[in-house]
Amino acid sequence: MKALYLKSLVAAALAVTLSSCEKKAENIENLSQLKTQVSGIVYPIEGVDQSTNILPKRKLPRAVLTKGYGIYKSIKAKLIDTVCEEYINSTSALDISNLKEGINIKKFGNKEFGITTNGEGGSFSFAKLKAGPKGWWTHWNYSPYTASAYPDVLYAQTSGGYATSNISLYLDKPVTSFGFEIAPNTVGEDVQIVAEYKEDHSYRFPDIFTVDQTISSPSGARLIAVKSSIPFRLVIVRVNYNPEIKTTGLAITNIRYTLAK
């Protein structure tokens, strides 16, 4: 019965029409919370209460884009933090359905475009986690904050298999638009993150711009997408640590891009 209810909830979420970029999510009142019995290793793994899979829909703060210094002050950059038709129609999706579950992934993509996790300044890998009690067990978020409610995700980890809170996405071709959805490996806490965008594959390059965003789990994954007049090839995501949170980590999904001409 629980499985049937979960499938019905997913189907309903996918059927919602994509709203405009500026449209705000409406509050959902009197939503019964879905309880999930968890056992073994599941993700997110940090947090006290692991019984609540889903929270009611709530109004979430907008992301903030800050341009870099010098020549970057005059660039044109557009921030997109809700899923909308304009964003979907102007970008291509990077499919992760063919990736094997639970295997360390350091490079993935298609014939047109790819992403690697190894580069200057460090290395990490992703592990694909299926949605569900033995994978990424919490609800991702509602439309328009994310494209789907229970997606498969890419969980960031070190070479030793531990969660990492700093990831670098090395894009094999320059892009003018790039977006992904992200949530923390921490239950019941708002987590502040910063995404830095650079022209080339070196962390030493100055930031073209940065994006500040708040994410949480469950029901708090967020889209971070930008459209820029200057192509870029490196996106670095880091957590602004809350000293009260022992550790955290990140998972991303629904990656979309537009190649530079």
pTM: 0.84
Res. 105: pLDDT tops 80: yes
Look up residue 162 and give its two tokens. 């531990």
Res. 26: pLDDT tops 50: no
Tally of domains within the chain: 1
pLDDT tens, 155-170?
999 877 788 989 999 9
Mean pLDDT of 183-211: 94
**According to the 3-state scheme, what is the secondary structure of 8-66?**
HHHHHHHHCCCCCCCCCCCCCCCCCCCECCCCCCCECCECCCCCECCCCCCCCCCCEEE
* pLDDT recorded at residue 121: 59
Domain of 37 in residue numbering reads as 2-21+30-259
Least confident window among 11-20, 69-78, 162-171, 180-189: 11-20
Res. 204: pLDDT tops 60: yes
Scan for tokens 């290395």, then name that residue.
Answer: 123
Strand 64-67, strand 77-80: pairing: unpaired
